[in-house]
């Protein structure tokens, strides 16, 4: 399957992932996003999306390299992502991701929205739906292909 994962580059960027090669994708604290993580399997591909920054858009590509596992940050009192309600039963999930590619240029959100105006297969993309704040979302294979073509 294909996915899109959002991160604020100030916190964690595609460049950070590139230098680390591999890293956990953790700290997701939204049920809908969690439920998507639950469906991930090793070998899945994902776009790395930069949000809340100067250059908003798809910045690179990565691969899911682990099965979902309980997010250790949720039960770590020192973590900013600590959730004391998870101490009894950790309900949050993380996965391990591997860097595949950093695009030479970020594919801007504005361009993705433009494409959606003429490409009906893009209309269902959660990313461009008004008010969508989902940080983990599926990408259909058609959508993946359309977007990949615009990247290098």
Partner DNA sequence: GCCAACGTTGGC
Q: Closest by alpha carbon to 61, among 94, 108, 106?
A: 106
- Count of residues of this chain found to bind DNA when the rule CB under 7 A is applied: 21
Binding of residue 84 to DNA (CB under 7 A):
no
For DNA, which residue of 110, 124, 141, 145 counts as binding (CB under 7 A)? 110
Using CB under 7 A as the criterion, what x/- string covers residues 22-61 for binding DNA?
Answer: -------xxxx------------------xxx--x-----
d(CA 70, CA 52): 27
Binding of residue 90 to DNA (CB under 7 A):
no
DSSP secondary-structure letter at 72? G
Part in contact with DNA (CB under 7 A); list of ranges 13-21, 39-47, 97-105, 131-139: 131-139
* Least distance to DNA, CB of residue 61, Å: 18
* Least distance to DNA, CB of residue 35, Å: 11
* Least distance to DNA, CB of residue 37, Å: 14
C-beta of 56 vs 97, nearer to DNA = 56
C-beta of 130 vs 149, nearer to DNA = 130
Q: Is 103 exposed, middle or buried (0-12, 13-18, 19+ CB in 10 A)?
A: middle
Determine phi and psi for 38, rounding to 5 degrees. Answer: -60, -30
The 3-state secondary structure of 43-71, one letter per residue: CCEEEEEECCCCCCEEEEEEEECCCCEEC
């Amino acid at each position: 399957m294909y996915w899109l994962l959002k991160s604020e580059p100030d916190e964690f960027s595609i460049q950070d992932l590139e230098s680390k090669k591999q890293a956990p994708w953790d700290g997701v604290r939204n049920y809908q996003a969690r439920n998507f993580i639950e469906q991930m399997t090793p070998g899945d591909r994902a776009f790395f999306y930069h949000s809340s920054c100067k250059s908003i858009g798809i910045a690179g590509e990565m691969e899911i390299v682990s099965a979902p596992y309980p997010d250790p940050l949720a039960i770590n009192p020192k973590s900013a992502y600590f959730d004391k309600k998870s101490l009894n039963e950790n309900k949050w999930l993380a996965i391990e991701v591997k860097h595949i590619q950093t695009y030479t240029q970020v594919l801007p959100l504005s361009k993705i929205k433009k494409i959606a105006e003429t490409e009906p297969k893009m209309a269902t993309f959660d990313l461009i739906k008004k008010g969508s704040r989902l940080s983990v979302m599926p990408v259909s294979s058609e959508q993946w292909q359309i977007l990949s073509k615009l990247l290098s």
